[in-house]
Chains A and B, each alone.
Chain A
Amino acid sequence: MKLVAVTSCPTGIAHTYMAAESLEQSAQAAGHEITVETQGSAGSEPMDPSLIAEADAVIFAADVEVQNRQRFAGKPLVQTGVKTAINDGPGVIAQAEAAFAAGPPAETSPSAAGTGGGGMATKVTSDAGLGTRLRQWLMTGVSYVIPFVAAGGLLIALAFALGGYEITDYVPEGSTIVDVFEWGSLDSWAALMLAIGGTAFGFLVPVLAGFIAYAMADRPALVPGFVGGAVAVEVGAGFIGGLAAGLLAGAIVMGIKRWQVPKALRGVMPVVVIPLLSTLVVGVVMFVVLGAPLAALTEGLTEWLNGLSGANAVLLGILLGLMMAFDMGGPVNKVAYAFAVAGLSTGTEASLQIMAAVMAAGMTPPLGLALASTIRKRLFTEPEQEAGRTAWLLGASFITEGAIPFAAGDPLRVIPSIMTGSAVAGGLSMLFGCTLRAPHGGIFVIPLVGNPLLYLVAIAAGAVVTAALVIPLKSTKRALQQEAVLQAQEGAPV
């Protein structure tokens, strides 16, 4: 058998070459020919294309992205980490024999997609710990969500900038933007952008769930992931519901893939059986198991908030702040926001204060994370840093969803930080007696805010508190280790 292999590791001075040596020794011992391309720091000599053409199977023993991997497209492929190749060279060679026996990949793997760029990427190392892999799965979902957040969020922000906060009422109840659109009207254009941005935002949770599942179990998991995410939206479970749907879908598909099925069935497994079964299970779980308790939760929280109307104003601001940041567009956030908007129609001073506190609390999560990712870049992955740049504008426009990429990738460290920051902003806004008579708009409605200077102080304080919490939380040793693995996979030069 003729084999070709690529070895590559983060530092490129040790493991790359040890893995190459190990594969060469093991291949020789098994009676195979092998050519190894070491993509290390001693300079990488691309191997002769004719060797690839003749090869029966390809081995990637790499902890960082293989360079120009599309050269190897369409060949039976074994992917592993450098350490596995060093510790168990014969095992890897045996896998290559098995891959050769199984023939070229029927189901197009990312490398075999052959689209020049190498198809859709997931950055998951199979031999990392569960915590690291979990974070890699989430980050894969996040990396696909970020463009949706940016495009949708910026369109919505632009709509508010051009049309003012009343743009949400531009399209009358019962009709659509198509019915009322006028080419010459600026407000029409603003309302149109709002509609397009809103449609883009509708994809956030399904895309997040779909690509988390994809990272876990490849293409067959896309369907249950997307559908589970869409059901999460349907039942109002927000992005946390989406995380659950994505992980559930991925886990189910991983499980089904382990089944030993008769050869006759094998061909239809990835296109029919797996998507059908897993989508059914995920759909049932999301609708039935999650739907009813969520509805009850929403109702309970609403009643509880209504009962608090007479409570201490600052405390109420803190509570609303915590709720706004908890799930960014999910059920808890919606209850807090709906509570504030419902009060607006009464027009009392207290209800205008509540609206102000809720908006301040909804602005600080993206702002605080934008701040953190600006001053401590190292703690954030490359996609997160990009999300951080748009998060400034999204936060300023009261589009709390700008924080979702950060929260979805690292919920346990990010959510407590933004909740605390929002609690500070909400509490301070109440303390300063700031008021707001618009339900939306961010900095574009500052002219409508009572006590605007102190209002900005409250927002700034919330953002600073968020950043001041998330930075140390992300600086813990464990967080840094996971980050290092992720960074290495992005091919960052070491």
Chain B
Amino acid sequence: MSDQTLITADLVDLDLAATERGAATRSLAERLAAAGRVTDLEGFLADVAAREAQMPTGIEGGIGIPHCRSVHVTEPTLGFGRSNGGIDWGASDGPATLIFLIAAPEGGGSEHMKILAALARRLIRQDFKDRLHAATDPADVADYIRQEVTPK
């Protein structure tokens, strides 16, 4: 079932208002909490921040991937936000416009992890990024991502 629900329309924000890393992460995490996928918002944010502190998760090409494994996560979940202004995520070539908040449950089975691995691999494919930049409807985005990461 998890591949069906990695991301849903209510976890997509195509017009992320936040302009700073912490606020952007929080606004996406709030969506995860509202969907019942994160049980303790503050605890989860602390786990994400701990990972981020090791080394910023921004990568070249305008992508930020805040992520963590956390006991406060109930199932593998992706929150996606698109920032039109861009948010500094620590990458050397400038701000991130596509933000992927990846939440993995502590001790999740390897089936779950394979979906996240598939997602991670998509993140650096140009056609995947192009599609997300062009998208206009959250439901389409969720459908597209789910379809991409489903084991073929």
Contact = CB atoms under 8 A, between A and B. Distances in A.
A477 interface: yes
A18 B53 contact: no
A86 B110 CA distance: 23
A18 B113 contact: no
Contacts of B114: 42
Nearest to A10: B54
B145 interface: no
Interface stretch (A213-221, A271-279, A415-423, A481-489): A481-489
A263 to B, nearest CB: 35
Nearest to B67: A14
A494 B51 CA distance: 9
Chain B contact patch, size range: 20 to 34
Contacts of A485: 54-55
Interface in A242-289: none
B16 interface: no
Nearest to A83: B59
Contacts of A88: 60
Given A21-B120, A41-B69, A494-B69, A13 B59 contact: no
Nearest to A89: B124
B54 A13 contact: no
Contacts of B69: 11, 13, 41, 494
Contacts, number: 84
Contacts of A484: 50, 53-54
A16 to B, nearest CB: 7
How big is chain A's contact interface, by range? 20 to 34
A213 B93 CA distance: 33
Nearest to B93: A87
Contact of B51 (A11, A16, A86): A11
Given A13-B104, A87-B60, A481 B54 contact: yes
Nearest to A24: B121
A38 interface: yes
Nearest to A87: B60
A488 B124 contact: no
B46 to A, nearest CB: 12
Contacts of B57: 14-15
A88 to B, nearest CB: 8
A18 B54 contact: no
B92 to A, nearest CB: 8
A22 B117 CA distance: 13
A488 B53 CA distance: 12
Contacts of B65: 14, 18
Interface string B46-85: 0000110111010110000101110000000000000000
A20 interface: yes
B59 A86 contact: yes
A25 B65 CA distance: 20
A488 B67 CA distance: 16
Contacts of A43: 110, 113
Contacts of A87: 59-60, 91-93
Summarize B's interface: helix, strand, loop or mixed: mixed
B116 interface: yes
Contacts of A18: 59, 65, 120-121, 123-124
Q: Which of B53, B91, B120 has the most CB of A within 10 A?
A: B120
Contact of B55 (A16, A17, A41, A83): A83
A21 B124 contact: yes
Contacts of B102: 13-14
Nearest to A86: B59
A477 B22 CA distance: 15
A20 B91 CA distance: 19
Interface in A443-494: 477, 480-481, 484-485, 488, 494
Contacts of B124: 18, 21-22, 25, 86
A18 B92 CA distance: 17
Interface in A1-57: 10-11, 13-18, 20-22, 25, 38, 40-43
A485 B91 CA distance: 17
Contacts of A41: 69, 104, 108, 110, 113
Given A87-B60, A484-B54, A21 B121 contact: yes
Contact of B53 (A17, A86, A128, A480): A480
B125 interface: yes
B104 to A, nearest CB: 5
A247 B100 CA distance: 41
Nearest to B59: A86
A63 B55 contact: yes
A414 to B, nearest CB: 21
Contacts of B53: 477, 480-481, 484
A494 B50 CA distance: 10
12 contacts: A11-B69, A13-B104, A13-B116, A17-B117, A18-B59, A41-B69, A42-B113, A43-B113, A86-B124, A87-B91, A128-B55, A485-B54
Interface of B: 50-51, 53-55, 57, 59-60, 65, 67-69, 91-93, 102, 104, 108, 110, 113-114, 116-118, 120-121, 123-125
Given A10-B54, A13-B120, A87-B59, 18 more contacts: A10-B51, A11-B51, A13-B69, A13-B113, A14-B120, A14-B123, A18-B123, A18-B124, A20-B121, A21-B121, A25-B124, A40-B113, A41-B110, A83-B59, A128-B55, A484-B53, A484-B54, A485-B55
Interface of A: 10-11, 13-18, 20-22, 25, 38, 40-43, 63, 83, 86-88, 128, 477, 480-481, 484-485, 488, 494
